[in-house]
Each structure stands twice: as structure tokens, then as C-alpha cells.
Amino acid sequence: MVERTPFLNILTHLILGAGLVLLLLPLWIVFVASTHDFRTVNTVPMPLWPGSHMVENYVFTWQQSQFGPKMLNSLIMAIGVTLGKIIIASLSAYSIVYFRYRLRMVLFWLIFITLMLPLEVRIVPTYAVAANALRPFQEIINVTRISDLADLLFGIRIVLPEWQLLNSYTGLILPLIATATGTFLYRQFFLTVPEELLEAAKMDGSGPLRFFWDILLPLSKANMAALGTIMFVYSWNQYLWPLLVVTDPSYGTAVMQLQRIVPGPLFGEPPRWHIAMAGTLMVMLPPLLVVVFMQRWFVRGLISQDK
Amino acid sequence: MLSRRLIMGAAIAASAIFGLSAATAQAQGRQRFEYWYGLTGQLGEVMADHCRRFNESQTRYEAVCVGQGGYDRAEQNTIAAYRARQHPTIVQIYDAGTVNFMLSGATYNAVTFARDFNMRINWADYFPGVASYYATSRGEMWSFPYNSSSAVMYWNRQAYRSINRNEAAGSWEQLERDLRSLKAAGHACPMAIDFDTWQWVEQFLAVHNQPIATRDNGYAGLNAELSFNKGLLSTHLNNMKRWFDEGLVRIQTAQTGKTLVQAFADGSCAVTMSSIANHGVVGATQTPGMEWSVAMLPVYEGYTRHNSLVGGASLWVMQGKSRGEYEAAAAFLDWIATPAEVQWMPTVTGYIPITTPAFQQMTAAGFYQQPRFAGRETSITSLTFTPPTNNTRGIRLGNFTSIRAELQSELQAAFTGQKSVQQALDDAASRGNQILRRFEQTMRGRELP
Amino acid sequence: MSGKRVTFKNTWLAVLLIAPQIFLIFTFFYWPAGEALYWAFTLEPPFGGEMQWVGWQNFITVFEDPLYWNSVRRSLIFALCSASIAMGIGLLLALFVDRELPGYRGYRFMYFWPYAVAAPAVGLAFRFIFAPDAGFISAINQWFPDLWNPALDGFDAMILIVVANAWSMVAYNFIFFLAGLQSIPRSLIEAGAMDGAGVLRRMRDIQLPLLAPTVFFLIIINITDSFVNSFGIVDITTGGGPARATDLMVFKIYSDGFKGKDYSLAAAQSIVLMGLVVLLTFFQFRYVERRVHYN
């Protein structure tokens, strides 16, 4: 845009600069806290400038907490959830937007409502399901007497095998894929795609799957990137569910580990904030890198066609 | 017309997810059992360390110890796991969780367990004040005490010297005089307080032999009612509010930026009351050269001093595990109860030795003469000052966590001037009683052991 | 509800496409949630075992509690304030970054960071900054004594959690607003410029209306999030206090259920919370989405 608006430009820079300070100040404090030693970090007020203990804090935290393997677990979990979410959400949203069937809106709201109940509330029964994921179906088969029917007709008892998800990547990943953010996002996006595209595709004789794969998906790259980033960060930062479903330390995630080193309010707990903040920054780094890397893809105006 | 690539990709993804569910490593010949602990941070490392040392001290058993990220979470996760039959053999549960576990029917109570698995534990060794907290109303212990503490008063010797006094106040009346002198001598914060009910309400009532609730603080039955809102506590909190208004005490919490321990350790406040477990923390974070010590909680004149309550957590054994796991767990529990291990805990944390023989050995070995640990014996003196009475055995109230939260909120309201102290106490008691009645109704058909 | 005019007819395929998600949400959401919510009509002991059916008793307990209505009020205030601040600032920053002035890449790069930070760190940092004794905000207290004290003043505490929550959502909103702005074809904006519309005018008349679907999406997400996911922020900064000034509904549910192990009371409160959020969302779909033009 070749325009001369010097005053507005200065204002823009001022606002953007203020925004920067606002958004980065807390991160700065976390960083500064991670560079001091135990005594300094506990003086009130804590100094605003970094100290000299950065390397020793980070080395200590890394070794003590064995962040290496934990980061790998977090990575596997986050990637699994991200991919799973993208695939499932796009398929479901496609079904809701581009097909007409009676249960369409009911299913959409069923999916959407899953956003509205906090995990903390349902965590105890969710754990029971994770211990045997096929139990709900077994119970249904029992209650609806299908099992009795099968026994009567065919002489076989339907007993579903036990599918245990605890202490496994599946257990970490599957329950987190089950929520609705992605579906909602894709629905919104699909609604903005011009009808002409579909009309043209239909006239070309392409069926629903071809339309999805060849036309809709490429268009939604920006959304995929946005959703992927959000989901990666979200699943990376999960701590409540992993803490419950994983008791074998070899499956521990990085944020679970971080929880263990953040000083609690207990009596006798030395406030080792310098270690906790060093750990925080280390745990924050991978999602940060993902965010930094991905932003290129989804803010670039990938809709190349200009109407 | 389903794209082949789409199917392939999905199949690969699916097999990757399912295939990665690796089975946990097989035991290499050692009998394993699982132990979930609640402590985090440096104390959590101590827990893990203790386990590691057990594993290294013998070759037959292996303790698999997993931190749960907090006492609340340890209790919650154990409950969730128990419901799914995936629970550990031993779990570390804090004092407020004792009632839930006693009523659950899910625990293997300690006395029976020790008998069934031939443990070497001598129940009489435990300090009476410690044992009574985790014992039934008939004195039978249901869990194994592990990390215990009690409440003490921290006082700054240098600040006291500036008002020409060399010993801590033994009575609240004396403490008030000290606080006034400190204020007059220029100390901006004579005493730091917060809204934690453990030391300011529960321990306060215990050392004065006053009840928190009827029915022996709940030991005698689930139909107990809160009774703290009348009598001494009301008078005392009104005094504290007056002192707060006069600037003799200051509120120091994490929300104000500095906890009372930090405020004491950096010298800004001259007196505070907290758990002995913080003794090490103060030592490690104090301003260099600060001279300070601990003393027993003060008692109002006209009241006889009684023992203070134990705090911390204990270890519970759960039902529904295999014989092999129980044998391993018994070995572990035996090992941590040996005098050497009972003495190890107080050296790496601020917790106290919980058995009389261990305490005697440590005293004889000069532990409490070392400058780093000097003064910690005060907490034991306080804990064992008298044999526990009906009011000082402990607190056994249902959903006590919520009752504590109610009391805390009401105290905040009182100290911020939103209501009078008496109104706040009455409201806390009535809401607390509602909580107790709900708990009683939920547990209908069960009896407190 | 809005929808496409042109659709496919293949119903079986549609069902197949949506089946995986339905399976997942049934197994991992509806079944456990159903169990958890069933507890709202019983008195469920923590470890299980016998429980009693008590019908509406839990709901009556909840509705008769004046402190419950306190938490509903607080939650509404919190949701509205933090959503509007987070969206307002996110939009402002996105609009200005979209202008692509020199250095915009740097701003864009750094505005994304806050989203990557886990809740404990956010809470801690905000406590450091806003605590009255800690030195940053305490400067204000030196000029105007006792003006700022979130530990003792409920109003200040509410400001603190609103700011902390808004902070973590600004980056989220910024990402989506920027993506939305960047997908507005440049030709439209250039056309506006050639018609003589200034920068601000173009923002108001071209970019904002075209952003409407994103705005709608974000309103729903922000409000739902501030009701459902705000536990972490409150827990770490104010703990629900002082004197319940920041006792949000979800915090109360967590305190009662998770800490207090009163699953039935938590379940009853959760049903109410869910009902409230569903109502709010439905309202937004009905009245706000009407005004959103998707094309």
C-alpha cells in the first residue's frame, strides 16, 4: 500500500510496541527468575535484570529432571493429538457442512457441547474408561440384552476384550482428540468457501471425496496450520490428564515433570523458583519453536486466487 | 473412489498410534510394588531418594515410586485408580485425607497389615501425639506415619534484643506486649500472619485444650458439630483483628508477594508461626547473619499448655493387591521404620523423627546441638507436652479440606472489614456444619472406626 | 442455522465421515460425563460403593447457597471482561500488524509467544508483577498508599485474574485474527484505497465486516474458555480469594469436587455450568451468527 500516513504509522508502532511490552513482560520475568540463584530469586522484590547463574540452573534442571526422554514423550503425544485432531475435525466438519441429513445439527451440537464441561469434572470416570476403553460398549451390550440374545441364538457370549489405555501413548493421545475446537473451526471455515466452487466441481462430475481431497483441503491449509499449532501447544501443555493416565515414569511428559519441580504451598518446601522457571522455559521451547515455524504457513494468505 | 493415499496414510497413523502402546518393562526378578507419593519439588526428590535407597539396600524387592504432583492429586488419583482397580499398593495421604480413607473400606489397615506380614514395627515407639492422629477412636493405627511436623513460633533474636528481651513470649499477653514494644522500636512488621487455619486455629485450640468440634473433634462419630465459633477462639481472633488494625500484625501471603516464611527469613517481620518443616527453608533463605530461633506456641494465661497436633502425611496400604506386592510393601515399611531411616528424614528435610527411640538417639548424638538443626527439638517438646486428650488427639472431620477453605474465606472477610470476627466465625461454623451433614449423609451406613 | 445451498446427497458417506469423532466423544466424553453427571442425583462417596439416590437435593443445595450465586456473578463478570479485553487487544494488534509496516515480522514473531506458556508459569509471573510487596506494581502503592492490594481487595483481585486470563488469550485471538485478515484478498483493500478510503476507514468498512466469521468463532471460544478453563489462573494467582471475590464457578467445582472429594455437589454444579454455557452459546448462534455473512 503506497500511502503516506506518518502520524498513523507512528501510532501503529507505539501501539505495537506497547503490545510487545505487555505480552512479553511476564516471559521476561520468567527468564530473569531462571538466571538467579536460590537466594536472589527469593528476595522481594526480585531484581529485574538477569543474573549469572543461567547455565548452572539449566544444566541442573535438565539432568535432575531427565527432560530429554520426557520431551520426546511430549513430542509424540503432541504430534499424535495434532494429526488426529486435524484429520477427525476436518472429516466431521465436512460431513456437517456439505451433506444434508436429519441428524446433522444434532450431531454438530453433540460434538460442540464437549467443549463445555471441564476435564476436571469428569476425570475420575474418564480414567475408568481409559483402564478399559471397551467397557462402555460391553455395558451397553449387557444392558440392552444383546448379549443374552446372541447367547440364545448363536450360543456365544459376547465378551469384548479389555483394551487398556493406561501408561501408553494411545491413552495419552486418544482422549485428547475427542474435543470439538477443530470441528468448530473447520465448520466456520467451510462455511466461508464460495458455493460456486462446489457447483463447478459437481458440474465437473467430481464426487464428495474428490472435492474434499482436491479442492477443499488445499484451500484449508491456512486453517490446518492454525489449528495444528493451537493443538500442538494445547496438548503439549496438558498436565491433568497425563498425570492421571501415566504412572510409569518412562511415559512421563515434560509438563508432568515440570509440575513436579514447581514448589508447592506445602510446609517445608524450599521455594526453588529458579529451577522451576528454568524448567518452564525449557518446556516452553518446543511449542514456541512450532509456533514460530508454523506462522509462516498460516499468515501468508495462502488463498492464492484473488477474486 | 477413496483415495488410496488417504487410506494408506490413515492406516499408517493408526498402526503408529496402536503399535506404540509398549508394554511396561518386565520385572527383572525383583518383586515390585507401586508407591504413590504426593510431595513435589525438593521434598518430592527426597521421597524419590528414599525409594532409591531402599532399592539399593536389598535385592529382593523393588519399590516403584511415582510422584503425583501434590497431596490433593495423590488422593484424587488414588481414588480414580481404585475405582478402576489400577491403584498402587502404598499411597502417601495428607492429614486431611485420613477420614476418607478410614471410611473407604479400600484400605488394609496398618495394625492388621503388620500382623499379617510379620512386620517388626513396635507401635509403642511412635509419639502418642503422632499415633493418635492416624489411629481409630480405640487407638488402633490404620496408617503408617511418615513425614510429620508440628507448629512452632519463629522469633527473631536480634529484633528482640532491640527491645531488651532475650526469650520468646510464653503467653499471648506477653506476645502482645512484645509486639507493641517492637512496633514502638521502629519495626514495621512485628508479626506476620496469614489465613492458614492449621497453625492459627487448629494448633491454637489444641495447645489450649479447646475443641474444634463436638464428639471429641469428630473421633466419636460422624454427627460431630463445629464448636470453634464460641469461646476462646472468638476472643483471640478479635484480639488479632485489633492488632491488625493497630499495625502490630501484618498479613503476608503468596498473594501479597511474600509468604510469612519469606517475610520472617528476610528479616522484615520479627515473629511468625508456622510448621517446624520450614526450619530448613528459613535457614537456607535467611539474610546472612540473622539470629533467630523457634519456641513453642504461646498460651493465654489461665490455660494449661497441652500438646500440639501433628501435621504432614502418612502411608496407607490399599486392598486388592497380590501377596507378593504386600510382602514387598511390608519390607519397605519395615525399612523406613528402622531407627536409621527415621533419623534420615529429619536430616534432609524439616520433618521430625516420629519415634521416641530415634529421637533419643539423635539427641544423644548431638544432632540438636548443630547450629543448622538447633531448636528443632522444640517441636517435639510441643508435640509431647502432655498425653493427647480428647481435644488434642487430632481432628477427624469429614471433608475437612472444604471446612478449612470456608474458615479461611471467612477470616479473609473479617480481616478485610467485610464483617465482624464473630459473624465470620459463626458463618464459617454454620457452613462447615452443612458440609459435615452432607458428609454424614453420604456416608450413611458407615461408621467411623 | 446457516448452511450451504449446494450439498452432496450421499448420506451413508456423511455418517462414515463423522463416525470416528462420534465414537471418540462417546467413549471419552459422553460415557464418563454421563457417569459423572449421574452423581448429581446421588450422594456419591469418593471411593465408590453404595450411594443413595437423592433426586434434586444437590441442586437445591446449590441454588440455595448465596455463595453459589456469588460465583455465578463473578464468572459472568470475568468472562465478559476478559473476553472483550483479549479480543479487543488481539484485534488491534492484528489490524496493525496486517498493515505490514517495516518490522512487522518481528512483532508478529513475538506476539505468538505467550500462547506457548503453560499455566503455572503465567500465574507465577503475574503474581510477581502484581503482588503489592513485590516491587513492580508496588511503585503505585508508594505514591498512593494501599491503592493496589489484590490480597485484601476483591476488586483488585478480579482485575488481576481478568488481566492474567486476557494475556494468555490475546495471542490466541491474535493468531486467528491475523489469519483471517491475511485471507482477505488484497485486491479488495486496494480497491477501497483507490476509492479514497483511508486506513482507518478501510479497517472499519472492509476488513472488520469480512472478519465477522472469525469474530464470531473467537467470541464463542473466548467466553467458553473463560468459563470452563479458567481454573489454573485462579488457582495460582488468587486462590479464589480474598473472601471469595474471585471464586469462579469452575474454581468452586474444582474445590468442591477435586479437593473436597464431594463428587455429587461438583456434578450438580457442573450441570448448571454446562447449562449456562450451552445457553450462552446457543444465544450467540441464534442472534449473532444471523448477522455474520459467510461470503
- Calculate the average pLDDT of chain A: 83
Least confident of A118-122, B441-445, C44-48: A118-122
Q: Testing the interface with A: which of B3, B12, B17, B197 to mutate, by most A Cβ within 10 A?
A: B17
Poorest-pLDDT segment among A262-266, B45-49, B332-336? A262-266
pLDDT of B135: 94
Instruction: For chain B, say whether C259 makes contact (Cβ under 8 Å).
Output: yes
Give me the pLDDT at residue B420, please.
Answer: 95
pLDDT value at residue C188: 82
- Confidence tier at A192 by pLDDT (50, 70, 90): confident
- The model's confidence at residue B5, banded by pLDDT at 50, 70 and 90, is low
Of A295 and B101, more confident: B101
Chain A residues touching residue B41 (CB < 8 angstroms): 260-264, 269-270, 272, 276
Q: Does pLDDT of C231 surpass 80?
A: yes
What confidence score (pLDDT) does residue A177 get?
86
CB distance B40–A267 less than 8 Å?
no
pLDDT tops 70 at residue B381: yes
Do residue A183 and residue C126 have CB atoms under 8 angstroms apart?
Answer: no
- Nearest by CB to A92, from C17, C167, C175: name it: C17
Mean pLDDT value across residues A66-94: 92
Domain C65-291's class? mainly alpha
Mean pLDDT of all residues in A122-128: 84
Q: Is the peptide bond before A45 cis (omega within 30 degrees of 0)?
A: yes
Average pLDDT of the residues in C119-128? 74
Contact A188 C178 (CB under 8 A): no
Average pLDDT over residues C55-67: 93
What confidence category does residue B4 fall into, taking pLDDT thresholds of 50, 70 and 90?
A: low
For B262, list phi and psi in degrees, rounded to 5: -65, -40
Question: Would you state the pLDDT for residue C96?
Answer: 85
Span of A195-209, B176-190, B363-377 with lowest mean pLDDT: A195-209
Distance to chain B for A119, nearest Cα, Å: 14
Residue C59 is predicted with a pLDDT of: 95
Optimal mutation site among A37, A267, A275, interface B, most CBs of chain B within 10 A: A267
pLDDT in tens, A40-53: 877 767 788 888 88
Nearest to C167 among A23, A94, A239 (CB): A23
B347, three cell numbers: 536430616
Helices (H), B309-444: 323-336, 339-348, 356-364, 377-383, 400-415, 421-442
pLDDT confidence tier of residue B24, bands split at 50, 70 and 90: very low
CB contact residues (below 8 A), chain C span 45-64, against chain A: none
- Which of C10, C29, C39, C269 has the most A C-beta neighbours within 10 Å, making it the best mutation to test the interface with A? C29
Give the per-residue pLDDT at A289.
Answer: 87
Neighbours of A92 (CB within 10 A): 28
At C134, the pLDDT band (50, 70, 90 cuts) reads: low
List of chains touching C (3+ CB pairs within 8 A) = A, B
Angle A284-A288-A293 from CA coordinates, rounded to 5°: 160
Residues 194-213 of A with CB under 8 A from B: 207, 209-210, 213
C-chain CB neighbours of B405 within 8 Å are 240, 255, 259-260
Domains for chain B: give ranges and CATH numbers.
Answer: 2-149+310-383 (3.40.190.10), 151-308+398-442 (3.40.190.10)
Q: What is the pLDDT of residues A1-28, one digit of tens each?
A: 556 778 888 888 888 888 888 888 888 8
pLDDT digits 0-9 by tens, B101-137: 999 999 999 999 999 999 999 999 999 999 999 999 8
pLDDT at residue number A219: 80
Q: What is the CA radius of gyration of chain B?
A: 24
- CA separation for the pair C65, C168 (Å, rounded): 32
φ/ψ region of C135 (left if φ > 0, alpha if ψ in -120 to 50, else beta) reads: left
* Each residue's pLDDT tens digit, B267-322: 999 999 999 999 988 998 889 999 999 999 999 999 999 999 999 999 999 999 99
Residues 6+ apart with CB under 8 A from C178: A299, C94, C97, C98, C108
Residues of chain A in contact with residue C107, where contact means CB-CB under 8 angstroms, are 16, 19-20
What are the residue boundaries of the structural domains of chain A, listed by start?
65-261
pLDDT value at position A301? 41
Q: Do B266 and A171 touch (CB under 8 A)?
A: no
CB contact under 8 A, B311 and A169: no
Residue B385 has pLDDT above 90, yes or no: yes
In this predicted structure, what is the pLDDT of residue B140?
Answer: 93
Q: What pLDDT sits at residue B12?
A: 52
Min Cα–Cα distance to chain C from A287, Å? 6
Inter-chain CB proximity C134 and A292 less than 8 Å: no
Q: Which residue has the higher pLDDT, B270 or C2?
A: B270
Q: What percent of chain A has pLDDT above 90?
A: 11
Mean pLDDT to the nearest integer, A133-150? 84
Element (H, E) at B61: strand B61-67
CATH number of A65-261: 1.10.3720.10
DSSP string, B231-274: THHHHHHHHHHHHHHHTSEEE--TTTTS-HHHHHHTTSEEEEEE
What per-residue confidence (pLDDT) applies to A292?
Answer: 78
pLDDT band at C295 (very low <50, low <70, confident <90, very high): low
SS (H, E, C) chain A: CCCCCHHHHHHHHHHHHHHHHHHHHHHHHHHHHCCCCHHHHCCCCCCCCCCCCHHHHHHHHHHHHCHHHHHHHHHHHHHHHHHHHHHHHHHHHHHHHHECCCCHHHHHHHHHHHHHCCHHHHHHHHHHHHHCCCHHHHHHHHHCCHHHHHHHHHCCCCCCCCCCCCCCHHHHHHHHHCCCHHHHHHHHHHHHCCHHHHHHHHHCCCCHHHHHHHHHHHHCHHHHHHHHHHHHHHHHCCCHHHHHHCCCHHHCCHHHHHHHHCCCCCCCCCCCHHHHHHHHHHHHHHHHHHHHHHHHHHCCCCCCCCC
In the predicted structure, residue A149 carries a pLDDT above the cut 70: yes
Per-residue pLDDT band for B22 (boundaries 50, 70, 90) equals very low
In this structure, of A122-131, A220-229, C136-145, the range with the lowest mean pLDDT score is C136-145
Confidence check: pLDDT of B28 > 90: no
A63 has a pLDDT exceeding 70: yes
Are C253 and A284 in contact (CB < 8 Å)?
no
* Mean pLDDT computed over every residue of chain B: 90
